[in-house]
Amino acid sequence: MPALLAKRPVLNALVSTGSPTDFVETILRLGAARASAYVCCANVHMLVEAHRDPAFRRVLAGAAVVTPDGSPVAAAVGWFHGKPQARVAGMDLVPALLEAAAARGQSVYFYGTTETVLAAIVARAQRELPTLRIVGTTAPPFRPLTPAEEAADVAAINAADPDLLFVALGCPRQEQWMAAHQGRIRACMLGVGQAFPVYAGLEPRLPAWARQLWLEWAYRLWQEPRRLARRYLVTNTWFLCLLARAVLTGNRGPAGRAVAQAG
């Protein structure tokens, strides 16, 4: 496996560090090597889930790369370790990776959401990146797959042989799916969830100035109050409490130190 980015502890998780370019380069190397690895884009919700649920903590720990997807997560990395860390959001990572993959001749596959969203993704990519090799798309049903359906999806992906497999099944399902398929799918898998409809142009994204003020959660809460109320109002509060406790006790997270990874 190619050399990976150093990880830093935040609460009960390890978050990868580096510039946005470092993340793109590392992921492309994993794809080119056909490493059966996966990438998690860690926001506040994901870190709180890892703190609360040991099984999900193991899923996150198994990721080759854990991006600081949320602004609070990136800030926490900087606060705990004395070095600013840029946010590396899935919504920014997807177009950057597609552009780089097109330039280098690497292939991509999209798995998740709906046929409508996938068609819009392909249309935009073909319009803006005509050299991008899109080798397949699959919109699985919104229910547990049968063993036969699961085997067919895995076989289709491996037959297409993508460098990068973009997965959008929602958190934590997509992270659990990637962890379960490590060793079975010959690609670098990326859990990017909400980035699919945004890249497709079917959902707007908050302006950059508002993202810099950490207002994305409020915007999404306004869009989907019933589904996201507990996640944002309860989980965000819990995250702040956990951060405060970590600062007061000096316990930054697992091992309390940086973890450098090498292939």
In order of 10, 56, 171, 250, 258, the CA distances from 245 in angstroms are 12, 22, 25, 8, 20
Looking at residue 91, what is its pLDDT? 93
| Dist CA 251 CA 245 (whole Å) | 8
Assign 246 a pLDDT band (cuts: 50, 70, 90).
Answer: confident
Query: How many CB atoms lie under 10 A from the CB of residue 240?
Result: 12
Please report, for the chain, the start and end positions of each structural domain, with discontinuous segments joined by +. 1-146+163-263
Provide the residue type at 11 as one letter.
Answer: L
The tens digit of pLDDT for each residue in 201-245 reads 998 776 665 556 555 666 666 666 776 666 667 777 777 788 778
Is the pLDDT at 260 greater than 70? The verdict is no
Beta strands in the chain (DSSP E): 7-10, 13-16, 37-42, 65-68, 107-112, 133-138, 164-168, 188-191
* Distance, first Cα to last Cα, the chain: 4
**Assigned token pair, 224:** 């989907």
- In the numeric block, the tokens 């899923």 are attached to 59
- Interatomic CA distance for residues 151 and 146, integer angstroms: 9
Tokens, residue 214: 């950490």
8 A C-beta contact, residue 70 and residue 43: yes
pLDDT mean across residues, the chain:
88
